[in-house]
């Protein structure tokens, strides 16, 4: 296996923010977040704070330096993800944070607000594993790190017999479909600001059902 999974620690945060900014090159991310110091600092602070969030599992995929054609140094973080465990009986929150200086506040409010409300509508108080973020350094993409981080949470969902939920950027949809997620809804946003020259962006809301339990013949 070219990667091993470990819990993320605070010393990993700067590297993960590097991975976030280099991997998320879609118009939504570029539109929301100019790559400036104030935004970077906000992201780092959010990660430092959310490492202690109850029920959240932050994971890193670390290169072992093995695998075909691998010239990457062993021990480097290739990818990271945040999974949130089920909270049965509790509807997802829809509060939004204050955005950093330089961010497109209106776009952040519109998109992150509607994504949060959609999750609440689609999942209600049904406990589910929630994939809040996954990102792989472009230098490591296509080598299995993202799938490995995904499977970590999906195995837990399957063992517990609960759904998994995520908001999908267009580039990640094939991976999510391969892992059993299906489109539950979608939203189109027109993004136009000084960084994005007026384009439509489609975000999918995806649910993965747990496998049906085989109760055996005659039971």
Binding residues vs ligand COA (CB under 6 A):
23-24, 79, 134-136, 141-147, 168-169, 171-172, 174-175
Which CB atom, from 162 or from 168, has the smaller least distance to ligand COA? 168
| Interatomic CA distance for residues 149 and 120, integer angstroms | 24
Which CB atom, from 188 or from 214, has the smaller least distance to ligand COA? 188
Residue 110, token pair as written in the block: 């519109």
Kindly state the smallest distance separating residue 71's Cβ from ligand COA, in Å.
16
Kindly state the smallest distance separating residue 112's Cβ from ligand COA, in Å.
13
Which CB atom, from 41 or from 171, has the smaller least distance to ligand COA? 171
Which CB atom, from 42 or from 181, has the smaller least distance to ligand COA? 181
Kindly state the smallest distance separating residue 121's Cβ from ligand COA, in Å.
19
Kindly state the smallest distance separating residue 141's Cβ from ligand COA, in Å.
3
Residue 105, token pair as written in the block: 């506040």
DSSP-assigned states of every residue in 160-203: HT-EEEEEE-GGGHHHHHHTT-EEEEEEEEEE-SSSS-SEEEEE
Which CB atom, from 13 or from 204, has the smaller least distance to ligand COA? 204
Q: String of b and e for 53-88 (b: at least 16 CB within 10 Å)?
A: eeeebbbbbbbbeeeeeeebeeebbbbbbbbbbbee
Kindly state the smallest distance separating residue 96's Cβ from ligand COA, in Å.
18
Which CB atom, from 103 or from 168, has the smaller least distance to ligand COA? 168
- Given the structure tokens 């059993």, which residue do they identify? 180
Kindly state the smallest distance separating residue 149's Cβ from ligand COA, in Å.
8
Considering only CA atoms, which of 20, 61, 53, 57 is closest in space to residue 149?
A: 61
Give the residue at shortest CB distance from ligand COA: 146
Q: Number of helices and strands (H, E) in the chain?
A: 6, 7
What element of type H or E holds 207?
strand 199-208
């Amino acid at each position: 296996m070219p990667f091993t999974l470990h819990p993320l620690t605070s010393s990993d945060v700067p590297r993960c923010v590097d991975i976030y900014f280099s991997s998320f090159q879609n118009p939504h991310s570029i539109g929301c977040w100019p790559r400036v110091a104030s935004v970077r600092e906000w992201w780092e602070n959010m990660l430092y704070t959310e490492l202690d969030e109850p029920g959240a599992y932050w994971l890193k995929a670390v290169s072992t330096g093995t695998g075909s054609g691998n010239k990457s140094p062993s021990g480097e973080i290739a990818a990271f993800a945040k999974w949130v465990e089920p909270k049965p009986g509790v509807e997802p929150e829809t509060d939004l944070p204050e955005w950093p200086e330089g961010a497109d506040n209106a776009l952040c409010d519109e998109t992150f607000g509607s994504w949060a409300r959609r999750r609440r509508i689609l999942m209600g108080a049904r406990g589910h594993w929630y994939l809040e973020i996954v990102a792989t350094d472009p230098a490591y993409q296509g080598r299995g790190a993202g799938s490995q981080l995904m499977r970590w949470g999906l195995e837990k969902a399957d063992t517990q017999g609960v759904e998994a939920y995520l908001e999908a950027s267009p580039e990640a949809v094939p991976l999510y479909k391969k892992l059993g997620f299906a489109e539950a809804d979608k939203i189109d946003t027109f993004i136009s600001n000084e960084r994005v020259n007026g384009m439509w962006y489609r975000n999918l809301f995806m649910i993965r059902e747990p496998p049906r339990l085989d109760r055996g013949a005659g039971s």
